[in-house]
Structure 1
Amino acid sequence: MSISALIKMHHNQLTRTEQRLADYILAHQQQVIMRNIASLASATQLGEATIVRFCRKIGLAGFAALKRELTAEQLQSLQPLPQSDSPAEQPSLLDVARRLHQLNQASLDETLALQSNATLEQTATLLLGASQINVYGIGMSGISALEAKYRFMRIGMRIDAHTDNHTMLLNSALVGKQDLVIGISHTGETRDLVDAFQNAKQNGASTLAITRYLHSPLTSFADVTLLTGGSQNRYESDASMIKASQTWLIDLLFNMAIFINQGRSIDNLLEVMKRIEKNGPPERPVS
């Protein structure tokens, strides 16, 4: 896991002072590498003891270990948009496209690095044991919830998606021990979603959180948490790289379901495709 991913994963369990230090480190990685601990303390107006505590809180031995990790990440960092000797010459639209591709790819790489086989096995157990799956998401995360619904319906799994606070709360009052509720939220702090997720947990449903941060209101009610990579700005939940990470995780869950139930899932998928081909697209209403 990259040091940036590690810092961002622990960001919202840090104190405000430590969060300020984390934000400085993420924004000035090259400068931090060149500083000693006294210089960094002066630049951030923090004590050296605070820097050491921060390093240990994110799982590092100390400031020297932090610098080693930052150096390794810098060697693998993305190249910026090409610069020209002429101030009037701007990067081309294709350069913008390449940069967006790099950012999305970096987000996917980070999402993969955040997974563990143990967590995926726990997730597989939840998928296998559920008689009904309900996916909660609001805004852009709601689109991810709908995508999960349509993917899993194709292999014959009972699943529904709820993308507004009223239907989520109503559904959360009806779920029980045989149900799995998946909550998708980048920050893990969307109040209406967290309330419904908590209600579902209290009613006995199994819960799976898909989110950016390891510690959040959402994850406090999750049996299993799958982390996504993405933007440094924790409130940019509509960024394409956040959506790319969520989509990748949903695709992973879909492929896990096929892998676990190989014959039955593939047979169901083929049967659904046959029915779609036989019936054709739905007729448009006459206006």
Structure 2
Amino acid sequence: MQKGLDRIRQGIGILNPSEKKVAEFILKNPQEILDMPIATLSKKTNTSEATIIRMCRSLHFKGFRELKISISAYISQEDQKGNKYQDISEGASLTEIIKSISNNNMYSINSTLAILNPKSIEEAIALLDKARRIIVIGVGASGIVACDFEQKLKRINKWCEAVTDSHYMLTTSVHLQEDDVVLAVSYSGETKEIIDALKIACANGAAVISLTGYSTNTVQKMADTNLFVSVSEQSIRSGATASRIAQLNVIDILFTGLASLNYEQSVEYLEKTRKVIQDRFTGSRKNG
């Protein structure tokens, strides 16, 4: 099946004039489309939102959201043919590096905000709130994100464990139950260790929340609730910098949303953890 822009190019001939107008705009502005709500596209093309939905279905997309996911994946694949290390350039000054990295990170967060679905965030927070146990799995840079979520949830006395070792993922997944939740962090959505662990978790009835790049991928298909970050990384990077920042931003949203559901209790737990750490360092200075 044709993906992204190729599917639009191949199918544009079957569209009616209004739908074709939308398709031509998308082909000319694919990157802009990723951050564009359907209402904005409607205004820019002088068509109705219903026309855009019909165009999507005529091209065999379930809707505008799926069309954007497919275009995003297509752009990511095309970008991989270019510079392998877009963060690193020969002879760049420190000022240029500071500006480049900061701009990339801000772009990644802003692009992610444009594709985050509030309903999916709400569903994810509800699952986490009711969970007996929360397991966060991730490998490499995604493992760092998993560990960040663990330490945050422990501060509000929510049972959470970050698992970054492939063997430990399997042995942990074997013991999951229906009232447990797995948060799977994988930018590509195709990490074999993550997929293998999810097969076991799903078989045991555990709920799965995915946090992946904005594309159709295996991890996303295995999840009950899908959360996405903007696709802006190359397949080979200097350390998955921008995607990690975007993932951490989503983790902060989940943590804050979860803490807010039980505000008074969360504040009490946060104060206890703050105090015990503060006392630890105060005591160390006194003993020193």
How high is the TM-score relative to the length of structure 1? 0.70
Task: Identify the match of residue 52 of structure 1 among 7, 12, 15.
Answer: 12
Contact 1:172 1:197 in 2 (8 A): yes
Are 2:95 and 1:94 aligned?
A: yes
**Residues 96/179 of structure 1: CA separation in 2 closer, same or farther (3 Å cut):** same
CA distance in 2, matches of 1:153, 1:60: 52
Residues 237 and 281 of structure 1, relative CA distance in 2, 3 Å threshold: farther
Cα 1:194–1:110 shift into 2, 3 Å: same
SS of alignment partner, residue 219 of structure 1: helix
Measured at CA, do residues 136 and 69 of structure 1 come closer, stay the same or move farther in structure 2, by a change above 3 Å? closer
Pick closer, same or farther for the CA change 1:178–1:185 going to 2, 3 Å: same
2:121 partner amino acid? L
Give, in angstroms, the shift of residue 207 of structure 1: 0.6
The equivalent of 1:128 in structure 2 is 129
Question: Which runs of structure 2 are paired with 1:25-40 in the superposition (5 Å)?
Answer: none
Instruction: Find the counterpart in structure 2 of residue 84 from structure 1.
Output: none
Please, what is the CA RMSD of the aligned residues?
3.2
Partner of residue 244, structure 2 = 243
By how many angstroms is 1:216 displaced? 1.1
| Aligned counterpart, 2:177 | 176
Q: Which residue of 2 aligns with 1:253?
A: 254
Structure 2: gaps of 5 or more residues: 35-90
CA distance, structure 2, for counterparts of residue 262 and residue 163 of structure 1: 30
Deviations 1:74-123 (A, max 9, x none): xxxxxxxxxxxxxxxx7632122112111110000011111122111111
CA distance in 2, matches of 1:103, 1:190: 24
- In structure 1, distance between residues paired with 2:246 and 2:126: 22
Sort the Cα spacing of 1:91 and 1:51 in 2 relative to 1 into closer, same or farther, 3 A.
Answer: farther
Please state whether the residue corresponding to 1:188 is helix, strand or coil. coil
Local SS of the residue matching 1:155: coil
Q: Note closer, same or farther for the CA distance 1:65–1:151 as it changes in structure 2 (3 Å cut).
A: same
Q: For residues 22 and 170 of structure 2, what CA distance do their matches in structure 1 show?
A: 44
Offset from partner CA, 1:156-183 (integer Å, 9 cap, x none): 1100011011000001000101111000
One-letter amino acid of the structure 2 residue matched with residue 152 of structure 1? L
Partner of 1:278: 279
Cα–Cα, structure 1 residues 200 and 105, in superposed 2: closer, same or farther, change >3 Å?
Answer: same
Gaps of 5+ in 1: 1-13, 23-46, 74-89
Matching residue's letter, 2:12: V
**Partner residue, 1:63:** 24
**Residue-pair matches, total:** 226
Q: How does 1:70-109 map to 2 (within 5 A)?
A: 92-109=93-110
Residue 281 to residue 115, structure 1, CA distance change in 2 (3 Å)? farther
- In the alignment, the residues of structure 2 paired with residue 245 and residue 112 of structure 1 have an alpha-carbon distance, to the nearest angstrom, of 9
Q: Distance in 1 between matches of 2:283 and 2:204?
A: 38
Provide closer, same or farther for how the CA distance between residues 232 and 239 of structure 1 changes in structure 2, counting only shifts above 3 A.
closer
Percent identity of paired positions between Structure 1 and Structure 2: 27
Flag the 1:273–1:70 CA change in 2: closer, same or farther, 3 A.
closer
Structure 1 residues 49 and 273, CA gap change in structure 2 (3 angstroms): closer
> What residue number does 1:200 align with?
201
